[in-house]
A and B are shown apart, each in its own frame.
Chain A
Amino acid sequence: MKEKVLKRLLLIFGICFFLLFFLTPFLWMVAVSFSSSPNLAVRGGFRFTMENYSNILGNKNLHFPDYLKNSLIVSSLSSIISAIIGGMCAYVISRFRFRGRTILILSVLALSMFPQICIVGYLFKIMSSASWINTYRALFFPYVAFSLPLALWILLGYFSQIPGEIDEAALVDGATRWQTFFKVIVPITLPGFLSAFLLLFMFAFNEFLFALMLTVDHRARTVPVGIALFQGLHGEIPWGNIMASSVLSCLPLVLIAVAAQRYVIRGLTGGALK
């Protein structure tokens, strides 16, 4: 009986502790974004205002809407393509035992372990000589490539749960492998593709180093780089604007995390455990 009480107390303490720990910094950001001054320490420091938001959305020189647009375009395109390409490869890996199969899986995973800094220097040279610096292409191709191991890993877990008889049935009916994959397998593994897409989107939307090195201005610069390089006119950090843009850029991700946590968690753990 004593143990039950102890366990309950520990649980309540744990919930409160982690809620405070995870949420306080986040709420601080939201509060400052709606305050006319970032100095919340003094009494009366918080005065509600929408000025920060109207500023970042309305002031043409800050380019925040451009950054947001660039981020959304590059992240959605690269994660859709990465999920499809990773899915195609995961499908044949789960269906055929061919020579070099294990080597393929292991080397793709090993490549994902390379620190980004080992890639970005030479990537900069490649992109410069192709005159791709400061274009969507400069980010799209590396993002797809860098997220493919994750896509492969997540979807491999899903395809290996689908029995091969389903493919056989479609093939006997005269479908090609191509048709079998896109018309039979993809529709039944749609939750897996959703998990993969959400995680890949988060990865691409949050990426910083490539975007910092391979973009120059608002024509291709993404939200993280924009927020990192926000400068005030006189060198003072414009906290209100930074926090308002942070809140707006967090919105899609927080929505994904809270509304689709089941898919995100399944994608993460399927990848880590299988």
Chain B
Amino acid sequence: MNKDHRNIALFTAPLLFFILLFVLLPVLGTLYTSFFRDVSFMEREFVGAGNYLRLLRDSRFLKSLLFTLVFALLSVGFEMILGMGAALVLNETFPGRGLIRGIALIPWAIPAVVGARIWQLIYRFDYGLANILAMRFFGEKVNWLGTPSGALFSLVAADVWRTTPFVAIILLAGLQAVPGETHEQGKIDGAGLFQRFLYITLPAVRPVLIVALLFRTIDALRVFDIVYIMTGGGPSGTTTPVSLYGYGYFLMGDFGYGSAVSISLFLIAFILSLVFLKTGRFREAAL
């Protein structure tokens, strides 16, 4: 028995060492710092909830919070729809399926920074692909990254391109677990293609759908790299997600307020995850 305990300690110690020191400690440090006025080259001063009260009155923070929520809602929504479509396609048998599955992974596998650079070039006003197409079909160019709504749309499209493969692969695993007999039974009972999707496929992949939804929402809320590159938060701060807003304060050396911004982002992600898990389970019980 004792030997077992020693083994458990021995095998888990390295993981605990890394996680405690390089994840938990910084998180607690950020939480601690958020209660101070902590600016480089200035005396540190305890301000209690001061930074958090300032957040509530900070209109630029509230705007960036609103942008983050809208961005997450739009991009996760489109990713779910397109990801489901891609998963349904990849679940069929056709020649070259393995290759196409590999190709479908590419947008997700390459660095987000590279993806963002590609889309930045595509959205260029003078010779980007988006405006070549816009000229051909509508006869006029669009200022994709220079207007608030254009920038929001462009960022969402770039994010959807990058993460649809991830959603598709997760949903594909769910689809493969649906037994073929249920579909045959549905056919015999006279259910059409779309009815079978709605009443057989969709309920069967619901648990996986919720997992994908949860992962993607958490990830979309902390969006940073594509915005940093494509718009830098502009035009005039309209596309600044909370991560970038907090990063701006760290960059200026204001660690106290930057920490409060970061912790608030975690709290929002945490509350949303709880809501998802609760509603997911609630519906499962109702079925």
User: Chain A residues with Cβ under 8 A from B19's Cβ?
Assistant: 108, 111, 145, 148
Which residues A31-85 have CB closer than 8 A to chain B?
32, 38-42, 45, 85
Digitize B206-232: 1 where CB-to-A-CB distance is under 8 Å, 0 elsewhere. Answer: 001001100100100110110011000
Residues of B within 8 A of A104 (CB): 12
User: B65-98 interface mask toward A, CB cutoff 8 Å, 1 = contact, 0 = none?
Assistant: 0000000000000000010011011001010001
Number of B residues, CB within 8 Å of A: 95
Q: Is the CB of A228 within 8 A of B11?
A: no
Judge if B25 is at the interface, Cβ distance under 8 Å: yes
Are A224 and B112 closer than 8 Å at their CB atoms? yes
B122 touches A253 (CB 8 A): no
> For chain B residues 33-47, which have a beta carbon within 8 Å of chain A?
33
Report B29 CB to chain A, min CB distance, Å: 4
Is A183 part of the contact surface with B, judged by Cβ < 8 Å?
Answer: no
CB pair A121–B121 under 8 Å, yes or no, is no
Set A22, A148, A205, A243: member contacting B106, Cβ < 8 A:
A22
Chain B window 100-117, contacts with chain A (Cβ cutoff 8 Å), 1 for yes, 0 for no: 111111111111111111
Q: Which bucket holds chain A's interface residue count?
A: 35 or more
The complex places the Cα of A121 from the Cα of B4 at a distance, in Å, of 39
Cβ contact within 8 Å between A250 and B266: no
Complex: A265 Cα to B172 Cα, angstroms:
10
B259: chain A residues at CB < 8 Å are 121-122
Known: A14-B89, A28-B122, A38-B127. Contact between A148 and B211, CB under 8 A? no
Interface string of A106-124 (1 = CB under 8 A from B): 0010010111111111111
> If A117-B247, A258-B103 touch, does A144 touch B18 (CB 8 Å cutoff)?
yes
The yes or no answer to A188 lying at the interface (CB within 8 A) is: no
Q: Does A196 contact B (CB under 8 A)?
A: no
Closest residue of chain A to B173 (Cβ to Cβ) is A269
In the complex, whether B8 has a CB less than 8 A from a CB of chain A is yes
Count of CB-CB pairs between chains A and B under 8 Å = 286
Closest to A176 in B: B7
In the complex, B30 has a CB within 8 A of chain A: yes
Rounded to whole Å, the gap between the CB of B252 and the closest CB of chain A is: 12
List, in ascending order, chain B residues with CB within 8 A of A177's CB: 7, 10-11
Instruction: Enumerate chain B interface residues (CB-CB to A < 8 A).
Output: 4-5, 7-8, 10-12, 14-15, 18-19, 21-27, 29-30, 33, 82, 85-86, 88-89, 92, 94, 98-119, 121-122, 126-127, 129, 131-132, 161, 164-166, 169-170, 172-174, 192-193, 208, 211-212, 215, 218, 221-222, 224-225, 228-229, 242-243, 246-247, 250, 255, 258-259, 261-263, 265-266, 269-270, 273
Q: A227-B114, A249-B114 are in contact. List 8 more A-B contacts (CB 8 A).
A: A22-B103, A28-B122, A118-B262, A205-B111, A227-B111, A257-B105, A265-B173, A269-B172
24 A-B pairs in the complex with CB atoms less than 8 angstroms apart:
A6-B193, A14-B85, A14-B89, A29-B117, A39-B127, A40-B127, A40-B129, A41-B127, A89-B14, A98-B4, A115-B221, A115-B262, A117-B247, A118-B262, A121-B246, A122-B255, A124-B250, A141-B22, A177-B7, A181-B11, A213-B250, A224-B111, A246-B118, A268-B170
- For the complex of A and B, list the 10 residue pairs with the smallest distance between their C-beta atoms, beginning with the closest: A122-B29, A145-B22, A269-B173, A258-B102, A115-B222, A14-B89, A224-B113, A257-B105, A257-B109, A261-B102
